[in-house]
Amino acid sequence: MKIRREVVEHVEPLRPYESLDTLKQFLQYHGKILCFFCLWDDSVSMFGDRRELILHYFLCDDTIEIKELLPHSSGRDALKMFLRRSKLPKNCPPRVYQPGQITDRAVLNSYGDFIKNQADGYLFDRYKLGKVDQEFYKDSDLSLGVTINVWGRKVLLYDCDEFTKSYYKSKYGIENFTSVSCKPPSPPPKIERKFPPYNGFGSEEDSLRNCIDLKPTPHRRNFKKFMEKDSYGSKSNILRFFCKTSHRQMC
C-alpha cells in the first residue's frame, strides 16, 4: 500500500481541475465602467457619414458595449445600441464560431452514475488542443488617439470621462489626457446660381422656370401675397406715380 501511495502521488491526475477565479475581479470592479467617446468616420463609403459613439468598458468581466449618439431628426431608427455587451476581439474572425466553440475549458467526457442520469465529475482537456486562440481588447489597449477594430469598423477614441482618467492615472501612471480633435472637414463653397438675362419670349416668370427645373412647370403665383396686397374697398395697395414728359431740343 505504501508503494502504491507513492506511485499515485507522482502520477499526474487524469482530471486536472483548473480554477478560474473571476469572483475577485467581479467584487473589486463591480459597477466600475470606463467611458470613452468615439468616432466612426464612414464618409468615404457611399451614403456614409460620421457616427458619434460611446464605448463602455466593464472592468468586472472585460466586456465592451458601444452606443450611438443619434442627433435630432437624423432619419435613422431609434436603436442606440451599436454593439451589445460582449468581449471584443482584436482581429475579426474569418468566420462565425458556433455557440460553445469558444470556451475557457473543453470537456472531454463525464463520469458518474449513468443509471440515475447523474454526473459526478467531468474530464477536461488538459492540453487544450481544441482551444480557439483569440485575443480580446483589454483596458491596457484603450487610450486616447487609438483606433480600434470593431468588427471591421475603424473607431477612433478621442475623449473620456473623469473616472476613466483617474483610473488610468492610478494604474498605468498616464498623465496626458488631451482630447483628439476630430472636427468634420469644412464644406465646399456653395456655388452661386446665375440665371441668363431675359430674352423677351413669353413672360419673365415662365422663362425663369426653364432655368430652374429640367422639366419646366407653370409659374405659381404667390397667393398669400395676392390676398394681402389686393385692393379691398377703399383700401388700395397700388403704387401711383405722376409723370411728365420732358422735351429737349435736339442739336
What confidence tens digit (pLDDT) does each residue in 11-48 have?
555 444 556 678 889 999 999 999 999 999 988 888 88
Contacts (Cβ under 8 Å, ≥6 apart) of 174: 143, 168
DSSP class per residue in 215-238? S--PPPP-HHHHHHHS-BTTB---
For the chain, the structural domain boundaries read 21-92+135-171, 191-230
Bridge-based pairing of strands 33-41 and 50-58 is antiparallel
Pick 92 or 190 by higher pLDDT: 190
pLDDT, mean of residues 122-143: 80
Cell numbers representing residue 246 in the block: 420732358
Lowest mean pLDDT among 27-41, 45-59, 120-134, 178-192: 120-134
What confidence tens digit (pLDDT) does each residue in 230-244 have?
777 667 778 888 988
The per-residue pLDDT for 201 is: 81
- Asked if 136 and 87 touch (Cβ cutoff 8 Å), the reply is yes
CATH top-level class of 21-92+135-171: mainly beta
Contacts (Cβ under 8 Å, ≥6 apart) of 65: 55, 56, 58, 81, 83, 84, 85, 86
CB atoms closer than 10 angstroms to residue 126 = 15
The HSE-up count of residue 75 (CA atoms within 13 Å, CB side) is 2
- C-alpha gyration radius of the chain: 37
pLDDT at 211 over 90: no
Contacts (Cβ under 8 Å, ≥6 apart) of 157: 36, 37, 38, 55, 142, 143, 144, 145, 146, 147, 148, 180
Lowest mean pLDDT among 14-18, 121-125, 128-132: 14-18
Identity at 181, one-letter amino acid code: S
pLDDT at 251 over 80: no
Q: What pTM does this model have? A: 0.63
| Best-predicted range by mean pLDDT (15-24, 103-112, 170-179) | 170-179
pLDDT, mean of residues 85-96: 82
Confidence of residue 159 (pLDDT cuts 50, 70, 90): very high
Percent of the chain clearing pLDDT 70 (strictly above):
85
The per-residue pLDDT for 160 is: 94
DSSP class per residue in 100-164? TSS-SS-EEEEEEETTTTEEEEEEE-SS-TT-----B--GGG--TTPEEEETTEEEEEEEE-HHH
197-211 exposure pattern, b = at least 16 Cβ within 10 A, e = fewer: eeeeeeeeeebebee
